[in-house]
Amino acid sequence: MLKSTNQFMGFDGFVWFQGVVESRADPLFLGRLKVRILGIHTEDKGLIPTADLPWAYPVMPITSASMNGIGQTPVGAVEGTWVVGFFRDGENCQDPMILGTIGGYPQKTANKQEGFNDPYGTYPLSDYLKEPDTNRLARNQKLSETIVQKKKDAQISGDIPIALAAYRNSGDNTSWTEPDPAYAAVYPFNQVMQTQSGHIKEYDDTKGHTRIAEYHQLGTFYEVYEEDGKANKLTKINGNNYTIVVDDDNLYVQGSINITTDARCNIYAANDLNIEAQSNCNIRTWKDTTIDTSGSITISAIGDITIQAGGNLNINASNITATAAQNMFLHSVSGTAVSSIAGLSMISQTYVAVSSNTGTVVSSSGPVTVTSNNITTVSGPTLLLTSTLYTSVASDALIKVGSKGLVDITSSTGLVNITSPIQINMLSPKVFRPVKLTFDITPVV
């Protein structure tokens, strides 16, 4: 008893062990496990209940900080997992540490009454007996019970259309399909990490079929796979997808982008929305199209702008200004009406021509003013100046009223005044005077 054990930890012999995990419910959340150690602890739970087993600390790899949550989380083993470790306190065998886990070839399910077994009787799973603990995806076996089959079962059947397919030339792509699962792993090149519920990560180095894949147990996954010397990527989301970018998002695609949705497609920009196409920009709507803006809309084109409506073309605005660098045409197969509640002005720097094969009507509930800085010509087989109130013909210089026929100045109700501060000249071979003139008329001799 005088002999004292070496009192310097690490110099007292390395005592290592193998054991079986029986609990991982660490109250301190340190990843500690209750491990029943072969040859050290009895399988008799009456003598050593699972709860009395010492907590074994996990040893993390150097790549894990094990500090403030930095690095890998020290969980992963399940009840029934075989582990290898050592005792920090050497032969005292009270402070176990776990270095790693050991896979095997389980032959029978757990006997939860005995130690060295999963106390819950879950692991090893009955479906996995008599096969290696190595993941089926790593060894390319029983694929029908793996995510490879699940991916096939969930594959989108048929073509997925792309926009404006009906307008494309023959030979252009008009649809695409979901790629088949690219899995073609060969042992031992596929490194698989699977969690208890079935989440899977794969790093597959199989020659010619290299892949990187991540799979959620409910079917959402992405897979980067080798094909024709390139690394394609398939992302499939069995649910909603949310992508949030706090700052800028940049997407550069050297090929085409096809976006197909079976439901609505909404694009919202809190600021400007810019769409630029170096080639054509095609928007095809199988129902109505509405462009609504709280500000202005500017449509400009180096070439022509064509607005074609199968029905009516309605343009509503506070003011409408149509400016043509050259000519402007308003053409209607039937009638063209230009109306204004207020004034209607037609102003031309050269001339205004209003012509009609049948008739031209200029009507106004108020005055109609025809103004010209030069000669104003109103001509026609019949030229009617009609006014319900009065008609004024005024000129700062000269008013000539001439007719190859009759010039008839008639007032059906009142006077006809011809007034001049200087002189009124009337020249005619014959003057018909049915009424007495109130002023002297000097006949022109």
Partner 1 sequence: MILPGNYKINTVSIISTEGRKQIDLTAIYTQLNIFESIMTNCITGYLTVTDTYNLISGKNYALPIMGNEIIYIEAELPAYYIMNEKDEWVMGAPNVITYYGRVFDIKNLTLINEGAQNYEIHFCSEEMILSENLKISQSYKDKPFSDILTSIFNDNFKNTISSYEFERTLNNHTVVMPNWNPLKAINWLASRSVSAAHKTTPFFFYQSLYNDGSIVDRQNNFGNHTNTSSSKYWFLSLDEMIAMWDGDVRKTIFYAPANNNSTYKSTDPESYMRFSNALNYEVTHSFDTLANTSSGMYASRMVTHDITTKSYKETNYTYEAEFQKYKYHVDNAGFFTGVKNSQGKTFSSPDYCDTHTMMTSSGTYETPNYLDTISYSRINRLQSLNTYRLNLLVPGDGLTEPGDLIEFKMRSLEVGDNGKTYDEFYNGKYLVNSIRHMFTRKEYKMTLDCSKESLNKEVRGYTASA
Residue with token string 């000269």 = 398
Give the residue with the Cβ less far from partner 1, 49 or 100: 49
Per-residue binding string, partner 1, 65-104, x by CB under 8 A, is: -----------------------xx--xxxx---------
In the DSSP assignment, the letter for residue 285 is -
- Rounded least distance, CB 52 to partner 1, Å: 3
Smaller CB separation from partner 1, 41 or 136: 41
Smallest gap from Cβ 84 to partner 1, in A, equals: 16
Contacts of 54 (CB under 8 A, 6+ apart): 34, 94, 95, 96
Q: Does 35 bind partner 1 (CB under 8 A)?
A: no
Spatial CA neighbour of 29 closest among 2, 58, 3: 58
Shortest separation between residue 118's beta carbon and partner 1, angstroms: 20
Map residues 9-28 to x or -, x wherever contact with partner 1 holds by CB under 8 A.
xx-----------------x
Binding positions for partner 1, 40-59, rule CB under 8 A:
40-42, 44, 47-49, 52-55, 57
Task: For residue 30, state whether it binds partner 1 (rule: CB under 8 A).
Answer: yes
Q: Which stretch binds partner 1 (CB under 8 A): 2-10, 78-86, 259-267, 325-333?
A: 2-10
Q: What angle do CA 302, 256, 260 make, to 5 degrees?
A: 105
Q: Least distance from C-beta 51 to partner 1, angstroms?
A: 9
Q: How many residues bind partner 1 (CB under 8 A)?
A: 30
Q: Which residues of 128-149 are buried (b: 16+ CB within 10 A; e: fewer)?
A: eeeeeebbbbbbbeeeeebbbe
Structure-block tokens of residue 140: 């390319």
Give the C-alpha separation, 241 to 220, whole Å.
Answer: 10
Q: Token match 């307008």: residue?
A: 167
Q: Are 136 and 148 in contact (CB under 8 A)?
A: no
Give, as one character, the DSSP assignment of residue 338. -
What is the rounded distance in angstroms from the CA atom of residue 154 to the CA atom of residue 147?
10
Residue with smaller CB distance to partner 1, 95 or 214: 95
User: Can you give the length of the chain in residues?
Assistant: 445
Convert residues 115-154 into a mask of x (bound to partner 1 by CB under 8 A) and - (unbound).
----------------------------------------
For residue 101, give the nearest of 130, 141, 63, 74 by alpha carbon. Answer: 74
Residues found near partner 1 in the complex (CB under 8 A): 1-2, 4-5, 7-10, 28, 30, 37, 39-42, 44, 47-49, 52-55, 57, 88-89, 92-95
